[in-house]
Structure 1
Amino acid sequence: MSLEVVHSRVILVRHGHYERIGDEGDTVWGLTPLGRRQAVRTGRRLAQILDAAQGRFEGLFSSPWPRALQTAEIAAHELHIDRIKVKPYLHEVLPIVDANRVAEFGVHPGLPFTSPEDRALTVKQVEKVRDRFFRAPKQTQFAVIFTHGNLIRYLVAHTLRLPYEAWSRFDCSHCGITELRIYQEDFEALINYNDTGHLPPSLITTA
């Protein structure tokens, strides 16, 4: 006879394809028509995942930036969920490129080296997300988070006990679904990464 292992599922969804119009920036840029189609299909896939899930549902959480929040709203419609919990610390974070670790991780094309101050700010934000969603669970539960590619990759790197600089080795598609699982005794596992099986090849984009 098997016993249920208490765990917490953190389901991370990158936002859909989005407009980059002029210099309006991250607090303005929203989804393209392609991104909206991606979000609809993602919502339908999440409906299947949530329907089969066990434990307490913590809710849908989202970055405040439009491309993530719009993805969450479209998916929530497919899920018949009215409330999205918007958290400011779920917005995108800077890419970390360490000048002292080029031999290990190389230089990501087109990105400047990260200052110690910017790295510290990025790590602080990642830790804030972890403090909220990666605590050892007292009961089986799950949450869905709509956020951004760099933050997802940092969270995966942390779970795999990799340096944050390893983020650049992970591709992250629009509306890709990633699941991390947290158990008691401070054990974490990557269940799946960047799943795009709910999208036809014509709808899979990364940049």
Structure 2
Amino acid sequence: MCLSTYKFSRRQPKSLVKPVDSDKPELQDKYNKKIEGQKSCATRHIFLIRHGQYNVSGETDGERKLTELGRKQAMFTGERLSLLNYPWTTITQSTMTRAMETCAIIQKQLPENIPLTSSDLLIEGAPIQPDPPSKHWKPELYQFYRDGARIEAAFRKFIHRAPPEQEEDSYELIVCHANVIRYFVMRSLQLTPEAWLRLSLDHASITWLSVFPNGRVALRCYSNSGYMPPDAISH
């Protein structure tokens, strides 16, 4: 069953308040006030940044570093985010080498006081078996069970409406990976998540999701890399 978009994160105010089993006006008033206290009043703008091009032949994560082109792509993206001039609230990065390298390059273009956190939940993986299946990408079945729950947990942790105490809109950067971003987009828009592999994502591109106070979600841009020179774009 598909939930309506404003319930996608299962954080609608009524779900956060214990129901009142009484028709007494004073109890109903308290209940309604508690619901009001759980309502969001701010919008979360979430910018999902894919890492730059990297050495795909590396055998370990430490060897899968950004290529020269990947470093240039990250620089272009940092410059673009700087030009947008939003009041960036937080930066969260995957703990994989290519994501941390990308994040470090982007940070150099932004104000120094933006809080940075890292999360293992955001590392690359196999979120769910794609439909239709790919002829070229065939992980072992156990990988979907191992990674799927983690990436779903990442979605629930990072993609949701603003908490009630947040009074101003936030502009949050998350530097991670193609499969994670594609899964987040499908889940946020409540499209069939198994279709995630049909989407393509450029290196160091910007995907922008907005989660409004009522829980509705807008995809403002997807895989935006048009600010890069044509010969710097790869995927």
TM-score range, shorter chain: 0.7 to 0.9
Of 85, 89, 97 in structure 1, the residue corresponding to residue 121 of structure 2 is 89
Radius of gyration: which is bigger?
2
Aligned residues: 190
The answer to which of 194-203 and 86-95 deviates more is 86-95
Of 162, 187, 193 in structure 2, the residue corresponding to residue 158 of structure 1 is 187
Distance across 2 between alignment mates of 1:8 and 1:114 = 36
Instruction: Render the CA deviation track for 1:30-66: whole Å, top value 9, x for unaligned.
Output: 10001011111110001122x1x36xx4311111111
Q: Does 1:107 align with 2:133?
A: yes
- Per-residue deviation, 1:10: 0.8
AA partner of residue 59 (structure 1):
T
Q: Which residue of 1 aligns with 2:229?
A: 200
Of 132, 137, 155 in structure 2, the residue corresponding to residue 130 of structure 1 is 155
Distance across 2 between alignment mates of 1:91 and 1:27 = 13
Instruction: Render the CA deviation track for 1:153-187: whole Å, top value 9, x for unaligned.
Output: 00000112122211111110101100111112321
- Per-residue deviation, 1:114: 5.8
User: What 5-or-longer segments of structure 2 have no aligned partner?
Assistant: 1-40
AA partner of residue 188 (structure 1):
V
Give identity over the alignment, percent. 29
Does structure 1 retain, via aligned residues, the 8 Å contact 2:127–2:151? no
Q: Does 1:6 align with 2:31?
A: no
Does structure 2 retain, via aligned residues, the 8 Å contact 1:14–1:174? yes
Does structure 2 retain, via aligned residues, the 8 Å contact 1:97–1:113? no
Distance across 2 between alignment mates of 1:150 and 1:196 = 17
Does structure 2 retain, via aligned residues, the 8 Å contact 1:28–1:65? no
Does structure 2 retain, via aligned residues, the 8 Å contact 1:19–1:29? yes
Q: Does 1:70 align with 2:96?
A: no
Distance across 1 between alignment mates of 2:78 and 2:190 = 30
Q: Does 1:21 align with 2:46?
A: no
What do you get for the CA RMSD once the two structures are aligned? 2.0
SS in structure 2 of the partner of residue 78 of structure 1: coil
SS in structure 1 of the partner of residue 60 of structure 2: coil
Distance across 2 between alignment mates of 1:179 and 1:187 = 14
User: What 5-or-longer segments of structure 1 have no aligned partner?
Assistant: 99-104
SS in structure 1 of the partner of residue 228 of structure 2: coil
Of 44, 47, 56 in structure 1, the residue corresponding to residue 79 of structure 2 is 44
Does structure 2 retain, via aligned residues, the 8 Å contact 1:20–1:29? yes
Does structure 2 retain, via aligned residues, the 8 Å contact 1:173–1:196? yes
- Per-residue deviation, 1:21: 3.2
AA partner of residue 12 (structure 1):
L
Does structure 2 retain, via aligned residues, the 8 Å contact 1:92–1:148? yes
Instruction: Render the CA deviation track for 1:1-22: whole Å, top value 9, x for unaligned.
Output: xxxx721011000000001234
- Per-residue deviation, 1:151: 0.2
Q: When the two structures are superposed, what TM-score results if normalisation uses the length of structure 1?
A: 0.83
AA partner of residue 121 (structure 1):
R
Distance across 2 between alignment mates of 1:35 and 1:95 = 24
AA partner of residue 43 (structure 2):
H
Q: Which residue of 2 aligns with 1:102?
A: none
Shift in alpha-carbon separation, 1:193–1:147, aligned structure 2, 3 A: same
Distance across 1 between alignment mates of 2:187 and 2:159 = 11
